[in-house]
Structure 1
Amino acid sequence: MLSRLAQARAERGWKKARLLHELRAAAARRNETLPKDESLGRTVAAWENQGRAVGDFYRELLCEVYGQSAADLGIAETPAPAPQPQIDCTATATIPQFSKLDSGLVGLLRGQTQSIRLLDRRLGGQSIFEQARAHVDNVERLVRYALPGGHRDAAAAELSQAAALAGWQALDLGNLGEAWRLHEIATAAARESGDGAGLAYARAQQAYVLLDSDRSADAHSLIIAARERLDGPVPNSLVAWLHAAEGEALAALGDRDAAFRALDAADAELPDHADDALPYLMLDAGHLARWRGHCLARLGETSAIDDLDNALDAMGEGNYGRAEVSLRVDLALAHKARGDRTESHLHAQRAADLAGRTGSARQRRRIDELLSA
């Protein structure tokens, strides 16, 4: 049976040479050097096959490379066993401590989610994921032990947003299993709270786990189901977002005409102003242009360049770390399709530099495929 560390490498389909390359890249970002491949390879084998303890330095590198916590990789420091307390057989079971939710506490939770969201947009998931996941655990515990009522519903809605955000970070870090689990929390919490918009958003975003697993048809079906199950009035911005997500799934399937129709539908639904009621939804004309450019680049259309250049100008360098990485990869693909390898390489290199800062395993994979082709 594979160790958890070996399983993480197997899930990504990496040969040992790929892991050694990623470890060296992570070390270089810290201005550190590693032993020769032969020595480092033996060390990796001892970690994966013999359960040898991983030191602090290498533990940090492995967490960065795989985008997972030390506990997830099975390399966390093992604390000394605590003395076992004497069991009082006469004690009776007690009910847990119930949460005391009120509007003020829910507001604080909402503010913390928004702070994590803003940091994530600037820094990427690597810097903030552990905080995001701890926030999800905390809100989930509060909701689980809260009595039914309006405050619990409001906290459940906030749990849905926090879990969807952490799920997207896990996806970006390449941890598809954790991304799926967090989106399951998000959809269940939205369903409990009665937030139809939040449920549709979380379910459709979950489809990206399927897209990254090369299950584009299933992803398309999930997005369609999310939109068709909307109940009651829905903000136009969310309808536009769902159409754009469908367009991306169709582009992944290679259905050019249907993808264009979905993107046109998104443009038709896009409101003039952002909807403050949906803080998790970042969509305006500039973002939609970037989305259209991504779909065009995925379809091999050189016309993507104009949309992507306009989106890059509107975004501004350094304001949205992960989004800029994705946009520049798309520009590299579009310039490559046009035959301009010099410009393609420039954007790919810039994307690689940014991906190293944000820890985006998802975008690093696209960059590696682009540069190796």
Structure 2
Amino acid sequence: MSNRLAAARRERGWTQARLIHALREAARIHNRELPSSASLKRRIAAWENQDKGISEQYAELLGEVYGKTPFELGLIVETPAPVIELEAIPTFTRLDDGLVGLLHDQTHTIRLMDRRLGGDAIFRQTRAHVDQIESLLRHAMPGAHRESAADALSQAAALAGWQALDNGRLDEAWQLHETAVSAARESGVAAELGYARAQQAYVLIDAGEHAAAHQLIGAARAEAASSVPQALAAWLLAAEGEALAHLGDRDGALRVLDAAADVMPDTPDDDLPYVMLDAGHLARWRGNCLARLERVS
């Protein structure tokens, strides 16, 4: 069944720019991030030409801005409600401290292997680990153990997303970070959410969307505020400095890098195994930013 998105836009008399504006307004209400306008224009053209499938997120937003159901837009085929057989009832996962601890331990083991072997060597293992936690969480009973498992998923997905980014798989990196952000929101751990959102900005940097990357890191820092440990606060500031360096903002980059040095603790934070940052790391980070500023000036 072909979608009717082009017809819906004609009915409204909207340009692509007007549709993009409406999508951003709807996304803002739902606290969702959308890619650049250029990227959205390409997506809209592909959707209306029937060249590209539409994710559930975009189907919801399009239905909202057009005031139509996904069925009315031709995005889904209306089918009778399925009859649930007894065998189709899922087996729920009963999580406990031991199982959640094993998930965290496995993530940390993969993290250590990543530092020794590189993400390319173990990406498939990391991805399988993410899929396993996601499957467990999908059928987990409500409660504190589910939130702890969501924390484990956020850390694992952020690690896999970074490995995918290292391998040039931008789309997969973005999707894995979306999983990390969603899991962090369920876990309620502010540090995980701030880290996942800011790290996701590096996908935008690699895609050349430097202004959007800076905006995303800034939003992550603002949301984290003072509720995250000093080590992560320093990391977030340094990440913003790198985004500003890509934008050619020398004064802004150096200002936040100085702020990162000011708040960085003297000793590593054992509760943040995913944050590798000490005085040496920060000095090299600053050097990379200065080199970037020289290239863009």
- TM-score, normalised to structure 2, is 0.70
* 8 Å Cα contact 1:197/1:230 also seen in 2: yes
Structure 1 residue corresponding to 2:90, chosen from 85, 96, 99:
96
Query: Gapped runs of 5+ residues in structure 1?
Result: 1-88, 302-373
C-alpha separation in 2, matches of 1:191 and 1:91: 33
Structure 1 residue corresponding to 2:229, chosen from 213, 221, 235:
235
Give the alignment of 1:153-232 within 5 angstroms: 153-230=147-224
* 8 Å Cα contact 2:190/2:227 also seen in 1: no
> What is the deviation of 1:92?
3.9
C-alpha separation in 2, matches of 1:247 and 1:90: 53
* 8 Å Cα contact 1:237/1:271 also seen in 2: yes
Instruction: Name the structure 2 match of 1:260.
Output: 254
> What is the deviation of 1:122?
1.4
* 8 Å Cα contact 2:153/2:183 also seen in 1: yes
C-alpha distance 235-93 of structure 1, shift in aligned 2 (>3 A) = same
C-alpha separation in 1, matches of 2:84 and 2:160: 43
Structure 1 residue corresponding to 2:113, chosen from 101, 112, 119:
119
> What is the deviation of 1:233?
2.6
C-alpha distance 213-277 of structure 1, shift in aligned 2 (>3 A) = same
Q: How many pairs does the alignment contain?
A: 215
Asked if residue 296 in structure 1 is aligned to residue 290 in structure 2, the reply is yes
> What is the deviation of 1:124?
1.0
C-alpha separation in 1, matches of 2:85 and 2:116: 51
- TM-score, normalised to structure 1, is 0.56
C-alpha distance 148-124 of structure 1, shift in aligned 2 (>3 A) = same
Instruction: Name the structure 2 match of 1:140.
Output: 134
Asked if residue 287 in structure 1 is aligned to residue 281 in structure 2, the reply is yes
C-alpha separation in 2, matches of 1:146 and 1:231: 31
C-alpha separation in 1, matches of 2:225 and 2:286: 27
C-alpha separation in 2, matches of 1:159 and 1:95: 24
**Structure 1 vs Structure 2: percent identity of aligned residues?**
65
* 8 Å Cα contact 2:157/2:176 also seen in 1: yes
Q: Which moved more, 1:284-293 or 1:200-209?
A: 284-293
C-alpha separation in 2, matches of 1:149 and 1:247: 38
Which runs of 4 or more aligned residues in structure 1 lie more than 2 Å from their structure 2 counterparts after TM superposition?
A: 89-94
C-alpha separation in 2, matches of 1:272 and 1:217: 32
Amino acid at match of 1:209: V
> What is the deviation of 1:231?
5.7
* 8 Å Cα contact 1:196/1:231 also seen in 2: no
Asked if residue 270 in structure 1 is aligned to residue 264 in structure 2, the reply is yes
Q: Indicate the structure (1 or 2) with the bigger Cα radius of gyration.
A: 1
C-alpha separation in 1, matches of 2:260 and 2:123: 30
> What is the deviation of 1:299?
1.4
